[in-house]
Amino acid sequence: MYGLIAKITAIDGKRDALSSILIEGLREMPGNLSYIVANDAANANDLWITEVWVDQAAHQNSLSLSSVQKAIKVARPLMAGMVRIAETRPVGGEGL
């Protein structure tokens, strides 16, 4: 398995709109086992994205899906920044 953890910072007051776009636009991605969007508890503009894929190729292939491309295009103006925190190798757990 292949995992990613990222932090996205929304522009002021747009975190909820941004999270909705990410949740709606990134459904039904082949090879995706988990895609979690979470609000940061301490910062009103930050989102945490935790992804699990069958492998790195499935993640890379998802970036070319029309639904993902559309979500990126709509979401980008609401983003103040994005940091890839870590690549992981999930070994299992509830929901996987």
Domain ranges in the chain are 2-88
Distance between CA 62 and CA 69 in Å, rounded? 9
Q: Could you read off the pLDDT of 63-96 as tens digits, one per residue?
A: 999 889 999 999 999 999 999 999 999 999 888 8
Q: What is the pTM of this model?
A: 0.89
pLDDT above 80 for 57: yes
Sign of CA dihedral 83, 85, 91, 96: negative
CATH label, 2-88, candidates 3.30.360.10, 3.20.20.450, 3.30.590.10, 3.30.70.100 = 3.30.70.100
**Bridge partners for 70 per DSSP:** none
> Of 54, 45, 52, 59, whose CA–CA distance to 14 is shortest?
45
Q: What is the mean pLDDT of the chain?
A: 94
In the prediction, which pLDDT does 28 show? 81
Range in 1-5, 39-43, 65-69, 87-91 with the lowest mean pLDDT: 65-69
CB-based contact 51:85 (threshold 8 Å):
no
